[in-house]
Structure formats: structure tokens, C-alpha cells
Structure 1
Amino acid sequence: MRMANLDGRLVVLRGGGAVDVEEASGGAFASDPQAVFDRWPEFLAWADSSDPEDEGKPYDERSLGAPVPRPRQIFAIGLNYHDHVAESGLKPPEHPSVFTKYPTSLTGPYAEIALPSAYTDWEVELVVAIGQRAHDVSEAEAWDHVAGLTVGQDLSERRIQLQGAAPQFSLGKSFPGFSPIGPSLVTPDELPDPDDLELSCAIGDETLQLARTRQMVFRVAEQISWISRICPLLPGDLIFTGTPAGVGGARDPRRFLAPGEELRSRIPGIGELRNRLVAGPSYPTGP
């Protein structure tokens, strides 16, 4: 099942169309895409029993918003691909390295993103949405708590992120628009192996990152189990699961995003983000 946010309304994508859930369910489910996560098992049962021939209405994909628009918590995992650990000149962490991104940074798959400075970097990621409350769950139980998967970018203003004796990861990664996700939320059963997905990002014809999620240091189930030992994961929460090698800040010379570019982020079987970059009010800033 592919769930999406179309002009602020909850839809299921089938074929080339979108089924409006509130209308198709006779009001059993509200139009709010975020509200459905508190009833995720019921929603899955309804989607499985609804008319498979109903492909809904044609839609403009650029009207798709973040499929999870208002999560209560957003977690992110750093240094979680072996090649990204190597390009950072560090050793693999013994446990998942967890930070947070703030919900006000979320935006949709086709949103325009304002760059706050000349030091904004890209990080394509697989993003996990939680479908059932998870507290102190085992790795074997972890996937049972997943609603679906989507594509994400963990955009990062590197100077803010790394300044000072205690780096400001959460702030440096939470400017408005720094967490685009989409285009839809795909349930794991739609994918041949949700632990082995290709992910990439590009600008124009240049591929910036290309990897597979099997190269993670800590797989999705390990991340969910680790976080849930400490923080209960709530329905509709998100986990940005880490980025592979190829980030601009690790290149020689370093390269960052620039106004006028379009950043394309892709996971086959899930979809693609296409985010146009523009100069923010303070761009550019001095060294």
C-alpha cells in the first residue's frame, strides 16, 4: 500500500490515480494524513479490503506533500554507512549515534528549499515511519512497528552543525525545509527486501551518492530497538536512518549546494524527491 498526502488530504495511490480515503471510507477515516497513524492497523485492514479496481482520480504529483506532515518526534542516525564512516575519518560507532531533527524542518517531495548559507550539504536517506507504539522492543519485533518507508534528505548547514566544543547537530540540520520526505509512504510488503534498497541523489547528470541500505552499520531493526530502549517511539514518528558516502563536506575540494540547482533523491520502489534550491535571506554569508 502506498499512502500519500495530496494537497493536505490522505490518499492511497493506485496505478496512476489517488483514492481519497475520507471519501472512499465513507468518513470512517479523517482526511488528515497525520491522524491515520494513531489507527494504523485499522487503516491497513481497510486498505486491504477496499476495492482494488478503484484507482481514484488522476493527480498532479507536484501537489504531494510530506506523507507524514506532523510527527511528534524525528530521530536521525549518524555515521551509519561503512563508507561514510571511512570518508569521515572515524571508526564505526559501537551503538547507533542518535540525534534529532525538529518537525518544523519537514517539507514535501517537490518543495522549494531556501539555503541559509553557502555551506549546506546533502545526505540522502531511507526514512522509517512508525505505525505502532514501540517501547523496549527487540530487533525481532521491530519491523512489526513500522508503518512504512519513504525517501528523505537530511540537509545540513555544516558550520552550525560542527561549531563549538559541543557540535549542534540538531540545529544545523533543522532549518526550514531541511527534511524533505516523500513522495509517498510505502508499506514494507511492497518491497522485495526492505533491508536492501538502493538509494541515490544527484544534481543534473552528476550522481552525488549511490549505495544500498545493506551497507548500513546498524540495520533498521537495530535502530528501532536501540532508540525504543530509551524513548518510546510513537505512531507517526520518523527515523532518518543514515546516509552513505559522497557528502559534499567530505570531498576535496569541498562542495556544497547552490541556488538554482535541483537536488534529486531516489529510492527505486519508493520514489523520488525533486527539490529546487533557492537563496535564503542571509545567503551567502562570509567565511
Structure 2
Amino acid sequence: MKLLTYHVKNEKKIGVLENDLVYCLAELAELYNAERNESVTIEGDMLSLIENHQTAIHNIWDWVQTNPSKTEGSAVPVQEVTIAAPISNPGKVVCVGNNYMDHCIEQNVEPPKKPMIFSKWATCIIADGEDIVLPPDSEQVDYEAELAVVIGKAGKNISEEEAFDHVFGYTILNDVSARDIQFEDVQWVRGKSYDTFAPLGPVIVTKDEIEDPHNLDIRLEVNGEPLQDSNTKHLIFNIPHIISYLSKGFTFQPGDIIATGTPHGVGVFRNPQIFLQPGDSCKIEIQSIGVLENKVVN
């Protein structure tokens, strides 16, 4: 499933995106209950859905796919809704730095022996189509296309063999970074956590839809110019290793987000350097997930 949070007629809903149509999960639950004489309820935001309704949404969507006539006319075109960030309130946004071999090569640095970890604040999350706002105290705002993992089950001291049991799905994150602030501070959190510095979405693709998250094309372009073009097979530390490594120190909760790192082509290591400017359009595409696009403003 491709799950999304959206607004229609000033009402916030959780839905499934299929063939450019959006199905409201709460409305599907009502149809499902009427047909099967059950009492499944879908309520709350995406975080609540991940915490409480994973089995229900899969059961409902399986029923929809085998009974398409039962839901005919219940969907709306995606162009008629306003897409929000799929999750706006994760407990943690954990990021992995220097996690692509090609990114290490462009910096002329040795690949890390252990995952390099930093965090972004949830307050910097924005949706597909919303604006990245350039802060007045930075002149070097950069882009970073990243595959993001959404945690679906709480856990601590998770083994690599059990790591995927704790994954709910995958989405796209743009790890926007104020490079001058990042390098001036030495630690990275402030330079990466300005408001609007974490475009996220547009959807969460449930893990059953992604055969191999370590073999997905990942691309970024600014104003139509390709600047990043790689594949998640070049990750240095794979997803099970990251989850296991991090869970030795803290407990993962449903809805937590892990940004797995960015490939080569970021602006700060280009010659000449490229930084985001007012009026730019920054577009990320990850195979099997979709496209995340945001404009840049002062």
C-alpha cells in the first residue's frame, strides 16, 4: 500500500493512493464492516494508525482489491486533495551520515567504521509541495536525497535478523542542510534542523510492497538538472545493521524515522559548488516510492 495523509474540504484524513486515486481508510472501514458484519475502526493520524491499526488496514485493503465493485465511486483523484507530510509527529528522526560509498569518494574520505549518527527535529518536517525556506543566517543550503525507513514496532537490542520485523514501510526524505552552519558548529544538528529542512513523503509504502530496499534507484534534480543519481545498493551500512546498531542505545517506537544517508552529488562537494536559491525546485525520485518535490523561497 501507498499510505498518505491528506486534506480534503478542510478535513484531515489518512488514505491509500492507488492509480492516482485516493481512498479514505476510515470510509473503507465502514464499507468493510457493512459487508462483513465487523466493527473495525480506523481513526487518528498516521502515527496512531501505525501504532494501533496495522493488521486492520491490511485486511481492509486486501478486501478492497478482491471486491473492487464494493468501493466503486468511493475514491477521489489525487489532484483534488492536498497532500500533507505522511507523519508530522514522529518521536525520533534519526539520520545516518556518510553512508554511501560514492558519497565518501566525492569527499575523499575513508568510509566510516561505524554508522555516523545525528538527528533532525520533527518540527522541520514539511510535505510534498510545501516550501523549503532559506534561513537568513546561511548562504550554503544544500540538498540530500535519502531513503527513509518508518519503524512499525517498538524494540530495543534488536538483532539484525529481526530488524525487518520492526519496519513498517519506506518514504523519501530530503535532508536539507545549512552547510556553513553545520561545519561551523562541528556537530550537525542545528545546521540540519531549521524549520522546513525535512521534506518528507509524499507517501509511505508498506514494506510488503518493496521487494528489496537495498536495490532502489534514487535520484535528485534541481530545476530539472540531475545532480544525484545512484542506487541504495551502495549503502555502506544496510537497514538491518542500522536498526540493530541504534537499538543498542535507545528504544525505537512506532512512527520513528531513520534517514539512511545520501549518495554522491550534493552541492557542497561539487566544483563549482551548488547551493539552493530562491525560486529553485528540488525534486527527488526513489524507485517504487514516488516523487517528492519542493520549491525554495527566502
TM-score after normalising by structure 2: 0.89
CA distance in 2, matches of 1:232, 1:61: 39
Match of 1:38 in 2: 51
Shift of 1:237: 0.3
Match of 1:243 in 2: 262
Change (3 A) 1:175 1:88: same
Shift of 1:48: 4.0
Residue 184 of structure 2, aligned match among 157, 163, 170 = 163
User: What is the root-mean-square deviation in Å for CA atoms of aligned residues?
Assistant: 1.6
Change (3 A) 1:217 1:61: farther
Any idea what SS the aligned residue of 1:255 has? coil
Instruction: Identify unmatched segments of 5+ residues in structure 1.
Output: 280-287
**Once the two structures are superposed, what CA deviation does each residue of 1:202-224 show, in whole Å capped at 9, x if it has no partner?**
01231010100010000111111
Runs of 4+ in 1 over 4 A off after TM superposition: none
CA distance in 1, matches of 2:116, 2:198: 18
Change (3 A) 1:62 1:197: farther
Identity, in percent, stands at: 34
Change (3 A) 1:69 1:186: same
Please tell me whether residue 18 in structure 1 is matched to residue 22 in structure 2: yes
Partner letter of residue 148 of structure 1?
Answer: G
Match of 1:28 in 2: 41
- Decide which structure has greater helix share: 2
Q: What are the residue-to-residue correspondences of 1:128-277 with 2, within 5 Å?
A: 128-164=149-185, 167-277=186-296
CA distance in 2, matches of 1:46, 1:65: 25
Shift of 1:31: 4.2
**Once the two structures are superposed, what CA deviation does each residue of 1:25-77 show, in whole Å capped at 9, x if it has no partner?**
13701142221121253244334443222372223277111111210111000
Shift of 1:251: 1.2
CA distance in 1, matches of 2:77, 2:44: 18
Partner letter of residue 104 of structure 1?
Answer: T
**Once the two structures are superposed, what CA deviation does each residue of 1:125-152 show, in whole Å capped at 9, x if it has no partner?**
0001001112111111111111110111
CA distance in 2, matches of 1:180, 1:156: 12
Answer whether contact 1:147 1:187 (CA < 8 A) is retained. yes
Which has the larger Rg?
Answer: 2
Answer whether contact 1:40 1:147 (CA < 8 A) is retained. no
Any idea what SS the aligned residue of 2:246 has? helix
Shift of 1:191: 2.4
CA distance in 2, matches of 1:43, 1:101: 31
Shift of 1:88: 1.8
Q: Give the total of aligned pairs.
A: 277
Change (3 A) 1:168 1:40: farther
Please tell me whether residue 71 in structure 1 is matched to residue 90 in structure 2: yes
**Once the two structures are superposed, what CA deviation does each residue of 1:87-130 show, in whole Å capped at 9, x if it has no partner?**
22221111111111100010111111111132100100000100
Match of 2:119 in 1: 100
Answer whether contact 1:154 1:173 (CA < 8 A) is retained. yes
Any idea what SS the aligned residue of 1:264 has? strand
Shift of 1:255: 1.4
Answer whether contact 1:209 1:246 (CA < 8 A) is retained. yes
Change (3 A) 1:153 1:61: farther
CA distance in 1, matches of 2:211, 2:165: 17
Change (3 A) 1:10 1:193: same
CA distance in 2, matches of 1:72, 1:61: 30
CA distance in 2, matches of 1:75, 1:150: 14
Which segment is superposed worse, 16-25 or 178-187?
Answer: 16-25
TM-score after normalising by structure 1: 0.92
